[in-house]
Amino acid sequence: MSAAGQGRQTGLVVRGHGRHYLIEDHDGQRVHCLTRGKKSDCVVGDRVRWQRSSEHEGVIESVEPRRNLLFRQDEWKTKSFAANLDRLLILVAVEPQFSESQLTRALIAASSAGIEADIVLNKTDLPGADAARARLAPYTAMGQRVLELSLKGRPEASREVLMPLLDGQATLVLGPSGTGKSTLINLLVPDAKAQIGEISQALNSGRHTTTTTQWYWMDAARKNALIDSPGFQEFGLRQIAAPDLASYMLDFKPYLGECRFHNCSHRHEPGCAVLVAVEAGRISPSRYRIYDELWNELSSPPKY
């Protein structure tokens, strides 16, 4: 039977650009595939049904049902990061100073998708580490795990912290430029540059820059995966309704259902348990300000 005549197979999307995707089959072989139509709904991490069209290429027929999908959505478009994730690492650094609003938005997106998330504070060897810790103190206090690393200063210690956490997982690394994502990838994926070259050649994408999501295997057995994602300036949450927002904020959860009114917005109503917690210092003012800003954003009509 010719390559084009072989039946459908299941494969893993490891990278994509436009209608062009790199699919990994059961044996670990990677094949350049196209989608049938002009529009594609595939993302990295998807399991797809595909069929060979020639010896070196194939066609994606359909996307298998997803366990989850991490994405951001603003007024104009939806941007997907990856599908079928076990964990999200949100990488921030002592320098440059991180945006608490963007950090909160990423945590909310992960919570709404049912994905476990950890915050990783990098560059803790720098003089501003205590100030960064203070800004993250409300997250630690509400039970959010915060890992402290120095990826360049103490690479082996960082590896020892991360590897048990990532074992058997498909983990997406998310964070702004300059936080050390490339350093983390190169530390945990010994042949990362080789994988980049292989994928760039297969997709004819030239020199690699992190403009698309990239799947890496951390081990030869292909059990531990690390997924790199492009940096971002904005993180819209238009997929979330304003009344649902509080349920995705870990520090608000203990007080939900304790308000006088069942449909409390936690912004101005009398007898609001969340506002009482803010006044008492049990919810940090900075976290509440972000909630208020997000509520206004999500409850306002689109501008287009």
End-to-end CA distance of the chain: 53
User: 100-113 and 285-299 helices cross at what angle (nearest 10)?
Assistant: 70
* 182 is annotated as contributing to ligand binding: yes
Nearest to 57 by CA among 37, 29, 27: 29
Q: Which residues pair with 171 in a beta bridge?
A: 87, 226
Q: How far is CA 304 from CA 2, 75, 76, 242, 301, in A?
A: 51, 7, 8, 19, 9
266 is in an annotated binding site: yes
Residue 11 marked in a binding site: no
**176 carries a ligand binding annotation:** yes
The answer to the question of whether 153 is labelled as a binding residue is no
> 5 a known binding residue?
no
Beta-bridge partner residues of 34:
20, 59
The answer to the question of whether 45 is labelled as a binding residue is: no
**Cis peptide leading into 302, omega within 30 of 0?**
no
Residues 19/34, Cβ–Cβ less than 8 Å: yes
The annotation status of 180 as a binding-site residue, yes or no, is: yes
Q: Please tell me whether 213 is known to bind a ligand.
A: no
228 labeled part of a ligand binding site: no
- Determine whether the annotation assigns residue 259 to a binding site: yes
Binding residues: 122-125, 175-183, 259, 264, 266, 272
Binding residues for GTP: 122-125, 175-183
Binding residues for Zn(2+): 259, 264, 266, 272
